[in-house]
Amino acid sequence: MAKYIYEYKNWTNFTWQESAINAIFGEVRNMQGKIIGQMNTLGFATKEEATLTTLTLDVIKSSEIEGEKLDYDQVRSSIARKLGINIAGLLPANRNVDDVVEMMLDATQHFQNPLTNKRLFGWHSALFPTGYSGMHQIEVGQYRTGEMQIVSGAMGKEKLHYEAIPASKVDDEMDKFLNWFNDKSKIDPVLKAAIAHFWFIIIHPFDEGNGRIARAISDLMLARADGTTERYYSMSSQILIERKQYYEVLQKVQHSSGDITEWLDWFLHCLKNSILASQTTLKKIFQRTEFWKIHEKTTINERQRLVLNKLLEGFEGKLKSSKWAKIAKCSPDTALRDIKDLIEKGILKQEQQGGRSTNYELTM
């Protein structure tokens, strides 16, 4: 079995080939500057909406990577409430959602604060408020005291993917990591975000939740790189799309003797793709802002506002009156009245295809 990176002496003196990552690094830094410059020309409401959408995606996708599905509207409502953003149709969020949101907001909104054991324990407790992960009781709000193996496959046919640093060394390794993380070193914060992610995953200090906390640590350092609490791209959304490569590159580089070029290259390309993907999300937000600017004097009730926002966010499937009734929690008759009212106002129209059921779409 090949040695793990942490089995080498001075394993945290990571090296990389600058010539191999210079081009992609420069490109990513340029794109970050551009997107922030672009957003700074926009109004407060649009920037707020972009941050809300990005953070919502970040929370949902980071949990989804671990196989946990959170409710989009609950997450969005929880973030809006905690950031004091006024949105229509705020839903109550369950404790699990609120706690996960709390962790992400602490990372991105207080990015200047040092990262400490206490802060990480707080994040971990927020991820596992019951002290259980699924059916298993775990050590919460503290570093693990047991050994850690990552295995997959049926009993008797398990495949070992990784054996983490011995539990007896976790405290010392985390002290070293946190000292480096909080040190005002000359290393660029984007590279620091990539190294921190890898380093934390290698230590694997917690019983559970290491992946989500590693991604929150990256987000914290990327917020430092951008110098703003406003978030316009979601790294976790992109990692979810590239999940297979994410695990492959981690598995490969965990056996390196200290050179992490391949990991940095993957991380920077993933970051580039997440910024590119955010352009689509931002385009939808600009359209939505533009739409409400045009209709700021139009009389629109809360139900209509709720469904229109769903349409403007990018609606899955066709809009029928039955779907309207379901989303707005109203009777089919009320749904039809709402729709006809918006057709008269020139906001909705019937789709051309017709068929047995009538579908509606925005006129814009």
Which string of DSSP letters, residue by residue, matches 304-345? HHHHHHHHHHH-SS-B-HHHHHHHHT--HHHHHHHHHHHHHT
Give the pLDDT score at 228: 93
Residues 107-146: tens digit of each pLDDT: 999 999 999 999 999 999 999 999 998 888 999 999 999 9
Q: Which two tokens stand for residue 269?
A: 């390309």
Instruction: Please check whether residue 34 is in contact with residue 226, taking contact to mean a CB–CB distance below 8 angstroms.
Output: no
Pairing of strands 136-137, 132-133: antiparallel
Give the pLDDT score at 235: 95
Give the pLDDT score at 69: 93
Give the pLDDT score at 184: 86
Cβ-based neighbour number of residue 259 at 10 Å: 14
Query: Which regions in the chain score pLDDT beneath 50?
Result: none
Compute the radius of gyration of the chain from its Cα atoms. 23
**144-179 burial string, b = 16+ CB within 10 Å, else e?**
beeebeeeeeeeeeeeeebbbbeeeebeebbeebbe
Residues 318-345: tens digit of each pLDDT: 888 889 999 899 999 999 999 999 999 9
Give the pLDDT score at 363: 85
Domain ranges of the chain: 5-288, 301-362
pTM, to two decimals: 0.84
Instruction: Please check whether residue 190 is in contact with residue 271, taking contact to mean a CB–CB distance below 8 angstroms.
Output: yes
Which CATH class name applies to 301-362?
mainly alpha
Q: What is the CATH number of domain 5-288?
A: 1.10.3290.10
Give the pLDDT score at 155: 77
Residues 6+ apart with CB under 8 A from 330: 303, 324, 338
Give the pLDDT score at 112: 96
Q: Which two tokens stand for residue 90?
A: 């705020």
CA-based nearest residue to 89, from 101, 99, 102, 80: 80
